[in-house]
Amino acid sequence: MILRSQSEPPPGKTVSRSRRYDRRLWVLFLGRVITSTGYSIAFPFFGIYFHTSLGVSMSTVGAIIAFSTLMGAFGKLLGGELADKIGRKRVMIAALFGRSLATAALALLAAQAEPQWLPMSALFIVGTWFGFFFDPAAEAMVADLSDPSQRVQGYSLLRVGGNLGWAVGGGVGGLIGIHSYASLFFGTAVVTMVALATLLLLVVETRPERVGRQGGSWLPPLLGPGSPLSQRAFLHFALATLAIHIVMSQLSMSLSVYGKTALALPESMLGLLFTINGMIIVMLQIPAASWIGRRRLTTSVAIGCLLYAAGYGSASLAVDFWTLAGCVVVFSFGELLVAPSVVSLAANLAPAELRGRFLGAFGLFSMLGRCLGPLLGGVNLDFFRSAPWIHWLVISGLAGGSMLLFLGLRGRVGVQADRP
């Protein structure tokens, strides 16, 4: 049963222009700020803690992070399926509860005299998995609360909330980490519980009622009747999503490694590159959503892919911090267009009763791209050690290929699903 106040429009109906966003989207925005703040307090410092305090090799740390990301990809698939079966709110609450328990246990282990890295790595993987488990339910709720003309704006609002939380949590984590890493994990657990309480009290379930009466298995195969990949349009979209997320993931590792090894930039300047990217998203994502709303989604994504190709391609010519920062600005504009458009397109391609399942499949392929991206970057930067700029030409070419895939999708999806 869907609970709804008399003052609130039903899911899928256009809200008043004076309000612009449904009140429940603002609740999700607040939840996204809090959850992202909690995550970024501790999890970005995990690798530093394991390597410098516990003596774990960077290869092992990298393997742990890669495995947690891979498991998170399948967590998105399960989270989306359960969001259709038991409701969006229940999945989000379960995800936050699981993450808070995992990080509280991490804090207890870190506070021991001789912390053991193996159980701590298992808890890190579990906590990361629950975080990804949360996403498709939140994305399905945004789709429930908005018609296609509003989805880009709704997803853009959540992206701004995530980036704000990341900026706040990272700064808080840096201050707390001076005292102890156990305090970092404990801080994440506390903030995550605050997010859980916020969503528990303020979020209203939006799952279409007919979904609750659906039969069938809990985990249908990706290929088969009723599955996302049984539709050629969605399969095409999934492959294009995989390709562009390989490109998008280069910021997290390859760019900083390249700046350090090829351009001899200090860590302080490398950190500024991430700040530039985050500030562009926070300041311009909402205006970019208005621009996207006047065009077909595949057009917006294709232009974003072109900007990624230009930004990463020009990185091969960077000679100092300022030229590399210029590259970051260019592909950050690409991110403004690509990120909200692809998730909106995924929601538009999904039947109302299967939004969670389709968004879970979208999350699976996006996360697989984010797994393969650092691997490709590491292999390229090792293989082309004497000419690392070749890596950026490869990434630029992949972004160009993604653009062609999305343009080729236009004829498959139809104007109704493609135009916000």
Task: Write down all domains in the chain, each with its CATH number in brackets.
Answer: 22-207 (1.20.1250.20), 225-420 (1.20.1250.20)
Residue 416 confidence class, pLDDT cut points 50, 70, 90: confident
Backbone angles phi, psi at 376, to 5 degrees: -60, -40
Q: Give 3-state DSSP helix, strand, coil % of the chain, rounded to 5.
A: 80, 0, 20
Position 222 scores a pLDDT of 62
Q: Could you tell me if 169 and 40 are in contact, meaning their C-beta atoms sit under 8 angstroms apart?
A: yes
Looking at per-residue pLDDT, the higher value among 313 and 213 belongs to 313
Position 210 scores a pLDDT of 57
Q: What is the pLDDT of residues 155-179, one digit of tens each?
A: 998 888 888 887 777 667 667 765 6
Residue 413 confidence class, pLDDT cut points 50, 70, 90: confident
pLDDT over 90 (residue 292): yes
Task: Report which listed range, 61-75, 279-293, 303-317, 365-379, is most confident.
Answer: 303-317
Q: Could you tell me if 169 and 39 are in contact, meaning their C-beta atoms sit under 8 angstroms apart?
A: yes
Structure tokens at 387: 């000419």
Looking at every residue in the chain, the average pLDDT score rounds to 83
CA distances from 77 to 125, 161, 205, 281 (A): 16, 23, 20, 26
Q: What is the pLDDT of residues 224-282, one digit of tens each?
A: 666 788 788 999 999 999 999 999 988 877 888 888 888 988 867 877 888 788 889 98
DSSP letters, 299-320, are: HHHHHHHHHHHHHHHHHTT--S
Three-class DSSP category at 341: helix
Q: What is the pLDDT of residues 69-87, one digit of tens each?
A: 888 888 888 888 899 889 9
Three-class DSSP category at 376: helix
Q: What is the pLDDT of residues 93-126, one digit of tens each?
A: 999 999 999 999 999 998 888 888 899 999 989 9
Backbone angles phi, psi at 293, to 5 degrees: -65, -15
Q: What is the pLDDT of residues 338-389, one digit of tens each?
A: 999 999 999 999 888 888 889 999 999 998 998 888 888 888 888 888 898 9
Position 345 scores a pLDDT of 93
Position 94 scores a pLDDT of 94
Q: By CB neighbour count within 10 A (0-12 exposed, 13-18 middle, 19+ buried), where does 415 fall?
A: exposed
Taking alpha carbons only, the member of 39, 377, 292, 318 closest to residue 187 is 39
Question: What is the DSSP code (8-state) at residue 250?
Answer: G
Looking at per-residue pLDDT, the higher value among 379 and 222 belongs to 379
pLDDT over 70 (residue 10): no
Residue 322 confidence class, pLDDT cut points 50, 70, 90: very high
pLDDT over 80 (residue 48): no
User: Quick one: residue 214, left, alpha or beta (phi over 0 = left, psi -120 to 50 = alpha)?
Assistant: beta
Q: For the chain, what is the radius of gyration of the CA atoms?
A: 21
Position 1 scores a pLDDT of 29
The CA distance from 371 to 229, in Å, is 20
pTM: 0.79
Three-class DSSP category at 244: helix
The CA distance from 185 to 239, in Å, is 36
What integer is the mean pLDDT of 198-209? 85
Position 2 scores a pLDDT of 32
**Percentage of the chain with pLDDT > 90?**
32
pLDDT over 50 (residue 11): no
